[in-house]
């Protein structure tokens, strides 16, 4: 009798410890994936600028816009040139500085104001809204206003 009682207690203890160990091995929250952006493509007016190869060197030296401003759109591409599908406007946005000269019309679109004639530098980046950091950039580009 004593032997059966000890076996039951031992079995109960083993089952409880096993359940606790399995619970600890459960599926933790999945680690959030970071986008694998190799190229940030920014279209300003009719000019396409690629900030590529994981860096921020623009494919053109400057962009010229009228004093009235120009539309801006951005897309974010993987190394094979396909769109990075993790980048959605629910979690990310195009960040443009100086912010006072950018009017947002969508997550990755807006208008930059030209202002007075001359040259100024804008910066563009892929901004992760929830984590409050840039995932690509900031990349700087001289813009000539005429």
Pick from 103, 98, 93, 100: which is nearest to 127 by CA? Answer: 93
- Between 21 and 33, the higher pLDDT residue: 33
Q: What is the DSSP letter of 58?
A: B
Tokens representing residue 143 in the block = 């813009």
pLDDT (0 to 100) of residue 9: 56
Q: What are phi and psi of 72, to 5 degrees?
A: -130, 135
pLDDT (0 to 100) of residue 3: 43
Domains of the chain: 39-145 (2.60.40)
What is the per-residue pLDDT across 60-108, written as a single tens digit (0 to 9) for each? 999 999 999 999 999 999 999 999 999 999 999 999 999 889 999 999 9
- Average pLDDT, integer, range 13-23: 46
Mean pLDDT highest for which of 7-11, 97-101, 135-139? 135-139
Pick from 100, 90, 47, 54: which is nearest to 72 by CA? Answer: 47
Taking the CB of residue 104, how many other CB atoms lie within 10 A of it?
A: 15
The residue assigned the tokens 């040139």 is 81
Q: Is 53 helix (H, G, I), strand (E, B) or coil?
A: coil
Instruction: Specify whether the CB–CB gap between 111 and 70 falls below 8 A.
Output: yes
pLDDT (0 to 100) of residue 8: 52
Q: How confident is the model at residue 115 (pLDDT cuts 50, 70, 90)?
A: confident
Q: Is 62 helix (H, G, I), strand (E, B) or coil?
A: coil
HSE-up of residue 112 (Cα within 13 Å, Cβ side):
31
pLDDT (0 to 100) of residue 53: 75
What is the per-residue pLDDT across 22-70, written as a single tens digit (0 to 9) for each? 444 544 455 667 899 999 999 999 999 999 976 899 999 999 999 999 9
């Amino acid at each position: 009798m004593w032997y059966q009682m000890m076996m039951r207690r031992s079995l109960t203890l083993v089952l409880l410890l096993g359940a606790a160990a399995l619970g600890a091995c459960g599926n933790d929250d999945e680690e959030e994936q970071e986008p694998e952006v190799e190229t940030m493509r920014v279209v300003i007016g009719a000019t396409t600028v690629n900030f590529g190869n994981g860096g921020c060197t623009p494919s053109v030296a400057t962009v010229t816009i009228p004093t009235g401003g120009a539309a801006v759109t951005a897309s974010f591409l993987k190394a094979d040139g396909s769109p990075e599908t993790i980048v959605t406007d629910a979690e990310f946005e195009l960040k443009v500085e100086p912010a006072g000269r950018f009017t947002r019309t969508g997550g990755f679109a807006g208008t930059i104001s030209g202002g007075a004639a001359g040259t100024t530098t804008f910066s563009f980046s892929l901004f992760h809204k929830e984590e409050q950091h840039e995932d690509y950039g900031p990349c700087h580009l001289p813009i000539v206003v005429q």
